[in-house]
């Protein structure tokens, strides 16, 4: 019994792992493939399923709030021809795994999943699209952003 009590006390003394500090600006460049037009970032896309648009744009993930493993903010993607020249902003929410390495996020129409290593977040983003006119585009990208 004393051994069980000692083990229990030792477990209580171990500090809980703290979540990675996600707050701040994470900077990188997209390497995106798009089929279709629309959504907040690709309103002028000419990409099709047969000939998708390949776009490389500057991105900033601005994480403005965090509570433990949960965080939130917005993605800022620089304008180009595929966006009609406009910089676009879209909100997201996310969470960090208990080992501080896997990160999952959702924005208004897609999902991010990736790995955190120090000040580098390597992730992929996907959103599904349909072939009908007027639907949001299918989007896929994998990239790295670095915390500044």
Across residues 48-55, what is the average pLDDT? 92
Phi, psi angles (nearest 5°) of residue 12: -65, -30
Question: Which residue segments constitute the domains of the chain, with CATH numbers given?
Answer: 2-147 (2.40.128.120)
So what's the pLDDT on residue 42? 77
So what's the pLDDT on residue 93? 98
User: How does pLDDT run across 2-48, given as a tens digit for each residue?
Assistant: 544 454 444 444 444 568 999 999 999 999 999 988 777 777 788 88
Sign of CA dihedral 83, 89, 91, 94: positive
Two tokens, residue 104 = 């999952």
So what's the pLDDT on residue 15? 43
The model carries a pTM of: 0.82
DSSP secondary structure letters along 72-83? EEEEEE---GGG
User: How does pLDDT run across 98-145, given as a tens digit for each residue?
Assistant: 999 999 999 999 999 999 999 999 999 999 987 776 678 999 999 999
Residue 66: pLDDT band (50, 70, 90) is: very high
């Amino acid at each position: 019994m004393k051994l069980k009590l000692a083990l229990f006390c030792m477990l209580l003394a171990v500090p809980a792992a703290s979540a990675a500090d996600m707050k701040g600006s994470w900077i990188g460049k997209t390497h995106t493939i798009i089929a279709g037009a629309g959504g907040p970032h690709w309103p002028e896309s000419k990409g099709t399923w047969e000939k998708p648009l390949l776009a490389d744009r500057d991105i900033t993930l601005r994480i403005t709030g965090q509570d433990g493993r949960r965080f939130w903010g917005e993605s800022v993607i620089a304008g180009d021809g595929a966006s009609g020249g406009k910089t676009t902003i879209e909100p997201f929410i996310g969470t960090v795994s208990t080992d501080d390495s896997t990160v999952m996020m959702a924005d208004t129409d897609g999902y991010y999943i990736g790995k955190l290593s120090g000040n580098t977040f390597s992730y992929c983003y996907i959103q599904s699209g349909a072939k009908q006119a007027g639907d949001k585009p299918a989007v896929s990208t994998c990239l790295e952003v670095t915390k500044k």
